[in-house]
Amino acid sequence: MSYYEGCPELNTVLDKHKASANNILSDAQSQLLCDTFSENLAYLFSTSKSASGDMLSVNIEDIKATINTWKSEIDECYESFLEKLRGKDKLTDEEQYKIIIIGNAVREIKQIYGRLSEELDEVELKFQNTVRLYRSPIRSALADISMLYNSENKVKGDFSGFENVSVYVHGIEDTGKKFLDSAVEAAESGDVLIYVMRNGEIEYRTVSVLNGKKIVKKVDDIEKLKQEKQYEMKKGRLHIIYDTEHKNEHRQETSDDLAQKLNKMGLINNSTKIDMFAHSYGGRRSLQFAVDYPDNVRSITTVGTPYDTNLLAKSANSARWIAEKIGQDPKNTSDYIDFNKENRNDIKGLEYSNAYTDMSSEPLSEDIHKLKSANPQIYDKLQKMEITAVAGYRKVVQYNPYARTTIETKTSSDDTVSIKSQHAEILGDLIDKRPQIEVKGNGVTDPGHIYEVEDEDFINIIEEVNEKQKNRSS
C-alpha cells in the first residue's frame, strides 16, 4: 500500500477503497475483473488476484458508479485537509510543501481511478461478447427441452393435426411479403396460410374454390380462423410464411427461433412433415433447420441461394459503410454469435455474427463435411430428403454487326449469385435436382435475384413439390 505522509485521512480513505474493491471482486468472482483491478490499482493498494469462477453477469455500470464515489471521497478528503490549514494566519514552508505533495497525490489517485473506469468499458464489451457466445447453445438447448416436454406430455398447439406444412423463409434485407404472394398463388382449396411478421403480427388466410375460381379469404384472428372449415377439417396444406425476427440474422438464430415457433404451434411431432421453400440466404437458414431437426423436414426447395461464399456479401461485410450508402444494413444482427471467429464482425468492439459474416467466411460444404464425420446419421437423413436447388438465369440478346443478326445467350448468373453456387455444386450428391428458371431483371442495379420468388416457373415448382409430398403422405 502507498502511504501519503502528512495526510493520515487520505490513507484512511484508501484503506476504505481497498476493502470496497475486494468486496466487488469477491461478489463478481471474475478473473478478468481481478486482473483489471490488480493491474490498475497496484500502485495504491493490493487487490485480490484470483477468482474461483468466471461469472458471465457483472454490472459494470454499478462498479463505475462506485469508482466515481471513490473519486468524490478523495476530493472531500483533500478539501478537509485544506480546510484545516485555512484557519491559520500563516503557513509554514513545510505546510505549503504538504499542500503541493497531497494535491499531486490526489490528482494521481483520481487519474488511476479514471483509467480503471475507462478499462472497465473494455471489460464490459468482453463480458457482453462472452455472454452472447454462450447464450446461443443455451437457447438451442432450451428449445429442445421445450419440444421434448411437449412431446412427452402430448401438449397441443393451435395447429396440431395439420400433417402437410410448407414453411417459407426469405433472404437477407427482406421480409416474407413476396413469398406470401407466391404461396397464395401455389395454394389449393382447403389450405390455410399464416404470415408471421417481424413486428409480431400474424395474418391468417383460407383458400377455397367457388365456380372454378380460387377464393382467398383473410381472417381477422386465430379464434375466427378456428371457425373456418379449412381449419376444422385440416385436410389441406398449412402454409407458414415466416419473417425472421431480425432481417439479417445468422442462420442458426433463425433455426432456433423457427423451431420454438413451430413447436408452440404444435407442428414439431412425429406426424407433421415440413416442406421448406427458401430464397437467397433463406436457403442457408432452411438447410440449418433441416440439420438441427432432420426428423421433421421432408423436403427443401431453394432458389437463388448462395451455398458458397458470396462476393457481394464479403464486400458489404468488409466495407459496411458502402453497403449502407446503397440502403443495405450489414450491421443488422441478433444476439447470436458464432463460435467460429472468422464468422464474426464487430460494432465498436461488440462482436456479432449475421447473414453477411456467414456468407463472407463459410461455404456450407464446411458444415456438411463436419456433419458427415461427426454425425453420419443426420447426414444420411439429409440424403433421404428431397433437396432441390433452383438457379435463376437471364437471357442476354447481343447484336452481331458483322452477321447483322442478334444472338441470344444465357447469363452465367442472376447478377448476384452464380449459377454454380445456386445449384449447390459444393454439396455434391446431397442435392437431388438442379433446375434453372429464367428471371427478369437487368444488371446489378436491377438484378434478376430479386424477382426469383415471384417468378411463375418457381411458383410452378412450389405447386409440384407440394402435390408430390402430399401424395407421399396419403
> What one-character-per-residue DSSP string does 332-383 give?
---S---SSGGG-EEETTEEE-BHHHHHHH--HHHHHHHHHHH-HHHHHHHH
All CATH 3.40.50.1820 domain ranges of the chain, comma separated, are: 161-308+363-473
CB-CB contact of 125 with 235 (8 Å): no
Query: Reduced to 3 states, what is the DSSP secondary structure of residue 297?
Result: strand
Q: Homologous superfamily of 161-308+363-473 in CATH?
A: Alpha/Beta hydrolase fold, catalytic domain (3.40.50.1820)
Per-residue pLDDT band at 470 (split at 50, 70, 90): confident
Quick check: pTM over 0.85?
no
Q: Tell me: pLDDT of 53 over 70.
A: no
End-to-end CA distance of the chain: 81
Q: Tell me: pLDDT of 55 over 70.
A: no
Average pLDDT, the chain: 90
Q: Which of 60-74, 113-127, 162-176, 410-424 has the lowest mean pLDDT?
A: 410-424
pLDDT, one tens digit per residue, over 291-323 is 999 999 999 999 999 999 998 899 999 999 999
Which parts of 227-293 fold into alpha helices (H)?
A: 229-233, 251-265, 281-292
Give dist(CA 253, CA 172) in Å, integer.
13
Phi-psi region of 442 (alpha: psi -120 to 50; beta: other; left: phi over 0): beta
Retrieve residue 243's grid coordinates: 419473417
418 forms beta bridges with 413
Give dist(CA 381, CA 371) in Å, integer.
11
pLDDT, one tens digit per residue, over 85-111 is 887 878 888 888 888 888 999 999 999
Give dist(CA 148, CA 151) in Å, integer.
5
Q: Tell me: pLDDT of 1 over 60.
A: no
217 forms beta bridges with 206
CA contacts within 13 A on the Cβ side of 61: 0
Distance of CA 406 to the CA centre of its chain: 47
Per-residue pLDDT band at 195 (split at 50, 70, 90): very high
214-237 per-residue burial string, b: 16 or more CB within 10 A, e: under 16 = eeeeebeeeeebeebebbeebebb
pLDDT, one tens digit per residue, over 135-185 is 777 777 877 888 888 888 888 899 999 999 999 999 999 999 999 999 999
What is the secondary structure of 84-137 as a DSSP string? HHHTSSS--HHHHHHHHHHHHHHHHHHHHHHHHHHHHHHHHHHHHHHHHHHHHH
